[in-house]
Amino acid sequence: MTTAALRDLVTRSPEQADQQPFLEVVDLKVHFSTDDGLVKSVDGLSFAVDRGRTLGIVGESGSGKSVTSLAIMGLHSRPTSEKSRPGAQLSGEIFLDGEELLSKTPEYVRGLRGKRMAMIFQDPLSAMNPYYPVGKQIVEAYRIHNPVTTKAARKHAIDLLGRVGIPEPSRRIDAYPHQFSGGMRQRAMIAMALSCDPELLIADEPTTALDVTVQAQILDLIRDLQREFNSSVILITHDLGVVAELADDVLVMYAGRAMEYGSAEQLFNRPAHPYTWGLLGSIPRFDRNRSERLLAIKGTPPSLIHVPPGCPFHPRCAYAGRNSGRSEEERPELVPVEPGHTVACHLSRVEREQIWEHEIARRL
C-alpha cells in the first residue's frame, strides 16, 4: 500500500482535513532481532494527533503501545554493527509538525526531545534519578534546551512545581524523589516533562502506579495543562476508564497493529471490533448483577515472534469462524465504518451490527 493511501486511512473529521496534524505516524514498524527470532513489536501502525487533542492508545501488555511511544521519542537504540548490542529496526514515517523524524540524525532528534516532545513515565519512583534532588532534575531538563542561568532555571522549576500542585514548592524543590509521595512524584515528573512547554506530551500509563484517588487528580492535572498549553497528548493505558476520562480519539492496539481507531464517542458507543468489545466487556461495573459474567477475552496475547497469520486476534475471537476462513489467511486492513471511525476486521457490516445489537450491546 502506498504512503499516500495509508495517509488517507488516517481519517479525520472534515473541518480538520485541511490542516496538517501535529503528529502523524505512517506505517510504523518496530522490529527487534533476538536470538529466538524477529520480534514484531509494532507492525504497520498509522495514526495522527492534532494540536490540542488527546489520543488514547489502549491495548493489553505487549501490544506495542510503549514501543510506539519510544519510537516517536527516538529512544530506541538503533542496531549497531556489533552483534552483541541489540537494537530496534524502525521503518515507516513519523511526522512531527510536518518534519519526518526517522530520517533525521539521533543528535537532531535529541534536540527535540524534552523541548518539543516530552514524556511522562509509568513509575515515577524508578523514572527519577534517586541520587539528585527533584529540583535539580527539572532544572537540568530546562537548561539543556534554554540558555538561562541556574538561578533563573531554579525559579522556573519552583514555578512549575507550584503549577502542578506541589505545596511549598520553594522548599520541596530540594527534596529527593524518595521523600515525595507517589502522587507528588508523578506531579514532579509532569513538571519536569512540561519544563520546556512541549507541544507533544506522551503519557505512558501515567496513573497505573498510583492510588485511585490520586489517579483522578493526575488526570485532571494533565487535562488542565493540556488546555493551558494547547499541546497534543498521547495517553497510553490499558485502563479504558482513563481513556473515557481524557481522550478525544482512541486507537486500539493488538499485537503491534491497530484494530480500531476513531473518536472516543464512536468507540465507546459503537465499538466495531470484537477485541474492543472484549476490552469494554472486561470492565467490572457495580451497576450490573454479580451473577453476570464479565465478557472476558479468552486466552493470552500472541507471541510477537509468531504472530498468527491473517488477523492476529483470530485465535481468541469468538466470531472468527463467520467469514469462511478469511481470518486465518488474510490480514484485515483498517476500513471505515463511519466517518472518522475505522476498524480492521473481516466481519461484514451486517454481521457485525447484528452481533453488536443482539449479543454485545446489552451485556456491556
Partner 1 sequence: MFAYIVRRLLWAVGLLFVLSVVTFSIFYLVPRWAGASPETLAARYVGRTATEETVHLTAERLGFFDPVPVQYWNWIKAVFAGAEYDYGSGVENCPAPCLGYSFITRQAVWPELLDRAPVTISLVIGASLIWLIAGISVGVISALRRGTVFDRGAMGVALAGVSLPIFFTGLIALAFFSYRLRITAPGGQFVPFRENPALWAYSLLLPWITLAFLFSAQYARLTRAGMLETMTEDYIRTARAKGLPERTVVLKHGLRGALTPVLTIFGLDVGLLLGGAVLTEKTFSLNGLGKYGYDAIVAGDLPKILGVTLVAGFFVILSNLIVDLAYGVIDPRVRLE
Cα→Cα distances 57→28, 83, 86, 194, 322, Å = 15, 33, 26, 21, 28
- Is residue 97 a contact point for partner 1 (CB under 8 A)? no
Nearer to partner 1 among residue 111 and residue 325 (C-beta): 111
Which of 128, 251, 279, 343 is the binder for partner 1 (CB under 8 A)? 128
- Is residue 111 a contact point for partner 1 (CB under 8 A)? yes
| Shortest reach from residue 163's CB to partner 1, in Å | 18
- Is residue 115 a contact point for partner 1 (CB under 8 A)? yes
- Is residue 141 a contact point for partner 1 (CB under 8 A)? yes
- Is residue 126 a contact point for partner 1 (CB under 8 A)? yes
DSSP state of 238: S
- Is residue 190 a contact point for partner 1 (CB under 8 A)? no
Which of 85, 171, 349, 363 is the binder for partner 1 (CB under 8 A)? 85
At 266, phi and psi to the nearest 5? -65, -45
Give the closest residue to 186 by CA, choosing from 120, 113, 238, 119: 120
- Is residue 185 a contact point for partner 1 (CB under 8 A)? no
Question: What is the number of other CB atoms lying within 10 angstroms of the CB of residue 282?
Answer: 14
- Is residue 121 a contact point for partner 1 (CB under 8 A)? yes
- Is residue 239 a contact point for partner 1 (CB under 8 A)? no
Task: Kindly tell me the burial class for residue 243, based on how many C-beta atoms sit within 10 Å of its own C-beta (0-12, 13-18, 19 or more).
Answer: buried
Beta bridge partners of 9: none
* Cβ(75)–Cβ(289) below 8 Å: no
- Is residue 108 a contact point for partner 1 (CB under 8 A)? no
Q: Are strands 23-34 and 54-58 parallel, antiparallel or unpaired?
A: unpaired
DSSP state of 233: E
| Shortest reach from residue 22's CB to partner 1, in Å | 18
Stretch that binds partner 1, among 12-20, 81-89, 268-276, 301-309 (CB under 8 A): 81-89
Kind plus residue range of the DSSP H or E element containing 171: helix 169-172
Nearer to partner 1 among residue 122 and residue 327 (C-beta): 122
Q: Which residues bind partner 1 (CB under 8 A)?
A: 73, 75, 82-85, 110-115, 118-119, 121, 123, 126-133, 140-141, 144-145, 176, 178, 192
